[in-house]
Each structure stands twice: as structure tokens, then as C-alpha cells.
Amino acid sequence: MNRTSSLLFPLALALATALVPQRLWAQEPAAEEMLAGQRLQSFRVGTWNLEFLGAEGNFRNNLPPRGAADLQAIGRKIAELGVCILAVQEINDEGTLKQVAAAAGPQWDAFLGTSGAWTDRPVAQRIGFVYDKNTVDLLFAEELLQLPREFEGESIFHRVPVTAVWKHKPSGCDFRLVTVHLKAGQKPDDKKKRRGEASALSGWLDTLARQANEDPDVVVLGDFNSTYGTEPEQIFEQSGLRKYLDQTSASPTIMHFPEPIDQVVVSDGCVEVRRTSLQVASDFGGLGKDAWRQTYSDHYPVTIQLRCANDDDPQATFWRGGPEQVLPLSQRRPREDGREPGREIGKPIAWPYTQGRRVQLLAGGVSYSGTLVRDLAQDGTGWVMLETDGGLVTVHASQVAALRMR
């Protein structure tokens, strides 16, 4: 695939809150048409917020906790969706999720991230994946603990994004999925937190995309708690490296709002994703609305299709974090410095470097030398910007491995 190796970032975010009246990105890219004539393998992946799955208290408008029959039904529903991987949100515990996975079939498994626990009540809203081991190999999975946890004085990422790299066994195609559960609510602080979460994650994705030999097959999916045209979309798309998938016809992804809030964002380099394949499974299957919600969720499953004949970039690699980020949790190893996983990781760094200083920066395994273009000690945005011989380089502080004076 054609890749750009530069790290040129825009200097400002084009943030808009008005809904986009007409969405035009619903055509198959030419790269997919070039695959015609080859023997393509098709498969689906998806996302589903399962509304406090495993929680024992009253968290679902007085609905009783789900029983064993409900978990069996959810597992069967996942199998019926025809997916081989399902990103999930609002999961209380891994044990309950594994019961759902077992109900989908003996070849299914599941894992969760560690964040999402409530501090005032004994419940958690964790995120992770359920997957069919007969169809895909899990190459590795991580919790993105290096992302900043504060934005403009507000805490963000109560549910830290989880990423996993998979290989589709029949075709050999490999790809990265990132699942998110962005801040809920419509208050100004809620929107600001979503802005911070989208900014931090898109900055990390942009840094990855512009690394030499990084595989561009990346899909972000989950509960975005926001619809088309709002700030998260503007932020994720502002670099020109990825786009939201459109529905072929408008359909809600949650019972409470007419707008879809569960989204899928695809890297422009990921030609395997069929751009018109997004589907929302909102059929209640003969059940009443309340009965369906009792067993399943107030959200509906969202799925997309991938098509490939083989891995078209076998030499490309996927960035990996440190041992403290590894999932499933049973495989996580302690840090060599003894620090607890996640403690203080990703908090905004107080940069003592001032405008005009010559520095050397290491990010994503790449070293850059240049001149700082503004006083980072007073900037407060979390971005490192320097002028190099090759142009302007902008990297989020969460991606900086080292920065020193020259």
C-alpha cells in the first residue's frame, strides 16, 4: 500500500458541532475494485455495548440482572451476527463475558481491559473483545495506558482504549482493531472530555500511521456517545488519514436516541474494509422492546465486512507497547521499574523547553532533530512541535519516548 512517511500534522483542529446535512463517503474505493477477479475471503467484525453486562445492582432502569438464559441468548446472538470478532463495552467482569463467549460456541474466547471500575459503587464498565479462535488468530492485545488521562483540567479515558492485532486464518490478512467507549453525556464538560479523548487517540493513530513500515490496516470501533458531524468525527478525520463509515440508510444504534452513537472509523489505507457494509442489527426478533433490552442491551450490534485475498503488505509491522500494557491481564508482566501498570502513565508532561531551543526528539522509534516552534512550558496542549529540515513535525506528548537539548 502507498504510505506517507512524513509526520506533518495540522496546527489546529477543525472542530465543528453542526450536523453534516449530507454524507458523501459511501462509495467503494478503487483499491477494492482492483481486487476483483481474485478469490476473496469475506468476514465480518463488529461492536456492541452490552449495557452493564454482569452487573448485579440496579443499573438498567429497574431491569433485573441477567440470568444464565440471558447470557446464553447473547452468545447465540453474537454467533447469528456472523462476526468473527466483536468489540464490547460496558462489561462488569471477564468471567461473565467468557460465559457469553462459550454460549457463542466452544471456539470462542474473550478478554477485557482493566479500566472502567466505578469508585462509588461496586460495578465496572470495561471494554474488550469476544472472538472466534477458529477464524482468527489473536496476535497480541494491549491497553493503551500511555494515552494522557487529563485534558484541560478534566480527567479522561475512564475506559482506556483497548487495541488488538488479528490475523484472519483463511486469507492471512492481518489488521488492528481499537475499541473505545468515549465519555457519555451532553453537558459542556462531557463534550470537552470527548474532545480530549478523541484528540489523544487520533494523535496516537496519526503518529502510528506516519511511521515507516507501520501497517495501515486499522479500524476504530465502539460506543462513541456521539453522532455524525460532532467533534469526535471532526477530530478523527482532521488529519485526512481515516474516515467514519456511513450507514446506507439512517438507523439508530441505541434505543434512546434517533441518531447513531456507535461508530466505526477506518484508516484510509485499509482497503480490506468494504465501505458500504455497515449494518445495524436493530430487529427485536419478535420480542417487545423491553423484553429485548432485558436480555440483550439498550444498544444494537453494529457490524462491517472485510474482504481480502491475502495479506497485501506482509512486510508491514504493528507497533507494540510495553509489558505493562499486555492483555489478557493474565499475560501482563510487571514493569522493570516496579511501577504499577497505569499509575501516572500518560499524564500531561510539564515540558521545560522553550521556543527556539534546538532539541532531539524520539517518538515511535524515529529520531527527529529541530527547533521548537513555541514555548511548550506555557502551551498546555500536550503537543510537541518542532521545525526540522524536512518540515514541521508535531507529536503528542504521550508518544514521546525521549526529548533532550542539543
Average pLDDT, stretch 31-57? 82
387 CB neighbour count, 10 Å cutoff: 12
Half-sphere exposure of 359 (CA within 13 A, CB side): 25
The pLDDT of residue 342 is 40
- Lowest average pLDDT, out of 90-99, 243-252, 321-330, 386-395, goes to 386-395
Over residues 192-211, mean pLDDT? 94
Q: What is the mean pLDDT of residues 354-381?
A: 69
Q: Do domains 30-308 and 348-405 have the same CATH topology?
A: no
Residue 252 in this model has a pLDDT that exceeds 90: yes
Per residue in 145-185, pLDDT (tens digit) is 989 999 988 999 999 999 999 999 999 999 999 999 999 99
Q: What is the mean pLDDT of residues 53-74?
A: 92
Identify which has the larger pLDDT, 395 or 181. 181
Q: State the pLDDT confidence band at 397, using cuts at 50, 70 and 90.
A: low
Coil, helix or strand for 46? strand
Distances (CA, A) of 355 to 9, 103, 107, 173: 18, 58, 56, 45
Cis peptide before 122 (omega within 30 of 0): no
Predicted confidence at residue 249, as pLDDT, reads: 76
Looking at residue 58, its pLDDT comes to 83
Give percent of the chain with pLDDT exceeding 70: 80
348-405: CATH topology: SH3 type barrels. (2.30.30)
Checking if the pLDDT of 125 tops 50, the result is yes
* pLDDT band, very low/low/confident/very high, at 392 (cuts 50, 70, 90): confident
Contact 49, 88 (CB under 8 A): yes
pLDDT tens string 69-124: 999 999 999 999 999 999 999 999 999 999 999 999 999 999 999 999 998 888 99
**Cα dihedral sign for 183, 185, 190, 191?**
positive
Where residue 398 falls among pLDDT bands split at 50, 70, 90?
Answer: low
Q: Can you name the CATH fold of 30-308? A: Deoxyribonuclease I; Chain A (3.60.10)
Residues 6+ apart with CB under 8 A from 39: 309
- The secondary structure of 338-369 as a DSSP string is -PPTTTTTTPPP-----TT-EEEEEETTEEEE
State yes or no: pLDDT of 24 exceeds 50.
no
pLDDT over 90 for what percent of the chain? 62
When mean pLDDT is compared across 1-5, 82-86, 202-206, the lowest value belongs to 1-5
Mean pLDDT of 21-37: 45
| Contact indicator for 383, 372 with CB cutoff of 8 Å | no
pLDDT at 290: 92
How high is the mean pLDDT of the chain?
Answer: 84
- Average of per-residue pLDDT across 49-75: 93
Q: Is the pLDDT of residue 36 over 60?
A: no
Domain boundaries, the chain: 30-308, 348-405
Q: Is the pLDDT of residue 57 over 70?
A: yes
